[in-house]
Structure 1
Amino acid sequence: MNTRVWMDSWQMECCGEPFDVGWEVSWAVVDPDREWLTKVLGAETAATVDGVEEHHGGGPEQVAPVSGTVTGISAVHCRFAPLPGESGHTRYPVPGSGTLTPLSSAVRWTSDRGDLRFVGYLVDLDAPAR
């Protein structure tokens, strides 16, 4: 069964373990924040995300661990800007600016690409049916 997991950049940078395509992994996941993922990934790709990796305790929405073989990894970068009409320093993902770059490995620190900020990994797993 194919499963798609989002991994936030800060989760990996904090205490994530690097992994490669072909590796077996087991992660606790929570339900995805589809509104945020839609801004970053676009509606079509965001709809394919089954869970969000969470290794800091996810609260009541936490589900059973997902285990499987990594079949794909994409680094996700996007632009950030203030909301239209806001003059504050808070920045938000710019819809439509997300890019996916296929990789063979996920490392703890992934560089930004110019004005595109690294925001996370989109990971495909071949996982046994639950």
Structure 2
Amino acid sequence: MTVTIWIDSWQMECCGESFGPGEVVAWQLVEAGAEDHADVVGGRRAAEIDFREEHHGGAGDEAVAAVKVVGVEEVHCRYEIPPGSTSDVRQPVPGATEFVPVGRAEKWVEERPGLEFCGYLVTAEPVVG
């Protein structure tokens, strides 16, 4: 059985260590709802996300889980101020997300033209025992 885990870009930049397929990592995991990341990754991909990784507490020690990384995708998205908005807050542009399979998740990621790095989607297998 595999699970999909979301790791925010700021989590990696702040506290993350690089990792790749085949490695076992221990993370604090919090269950993710289907709508939690839909604005960035789209509804279909958001429904695949089982957990989000939490570096800053709030998950409780019991939520630390060991998982073996199976695959890693960088997530890059375009942000804009929505047309007609009275706010200067940029929002993810629907359908403007790119998923890039990579061999290793790194703390710093090269930006893609016109897009911003948002985080990683990690496919992993729970480690028992």
Normalising by the residue count of structure 2, what TM-score does the alignment of the two structures yield? 0.90
Trace 1:28-67 onto structure 2 (pairs within 5 A). 28-32=28-32, 34-58=34-58, 64-67=63-66
Equivalent pair of 1:9/1:121 in contact (CA under 8 Å): yes
- Distance change (3 Å), C-alpha of 1:63 and 1:49: farther
Q: How many residues align?
A: 129
In structure 1, the residue matched to 2:81 is 82
User: Secondary structure of 1:106's partner?
Assistant: coil
In structure 1, the residue matched to 2:97 is 98
- Distance change (3 Å), C-alpha of 1:8 and 1:63: farther
Offset at residue 15 of structure 1 (A): 1.2
Could you list the runs of 5+ residues in structure 2 that have no partner in the other structure? none
Equivalent pair of 1:29/1:63 in contact (CA under 8 Å): no
In structure 1, the residue matched to 2:68 is 69
Offset at residue 70 of structure 1 (A): 0.3
Return the alpha-carbon distance in structure 2 between the equivalents of residues 33 and 79 of structure 1: 22
Offset at residue 29 of structure 1 (A): 1.3
Return the alpha-carbon distance in structure 2 between the equivalents of residues 92 and 36 of structure 1: 14
Offset at residue 121 of structure 1 (A): 0.3
Matched-pair identity in %:
41
Normalising by the residue count of structure 1, what TM-score does the alignment of the two structures yield? 0.89
Equivalent pair of 1:30/1:63 in contact (CA under 8 Å): no
- Distance change (3 Å), C-alpha of 1:95 and 1:33: farther
Equivalent pair of 2:77/2:116 in contact (CA under 8 Å): yes
Return the alpha-carbon distance in structure 2 between the equivalents of residues 35 and 117 of structure 1: 20
Return the alpha-carbon distance in structure 1 between the equivalents of residues 11 and 51 of structure 2: 14
Return the alpha-carbon distance in structure 2 between the equivalents of residues 3 and 63 of structure 1: 18
Return the alpha-carbon distance in structure 1 between the equivalents of residues 39 and 47 of structure 2: 12
Equivalent pair of 2:28/2:59 in contact (CA under 8 Å): no
Offset at residue 88 of structure 1 (A): 3.1
Trace 1:4-23 onto structure 2 (pairs within 5 A). 4-23=4-23
2:19 alignment partner AA:
F
Judging by fraction of residues, say which structure has more strand.
2
Return the alpha-carbon distance in structure 1 between the equivalents of residues 65 and 123 of structure 2: 11
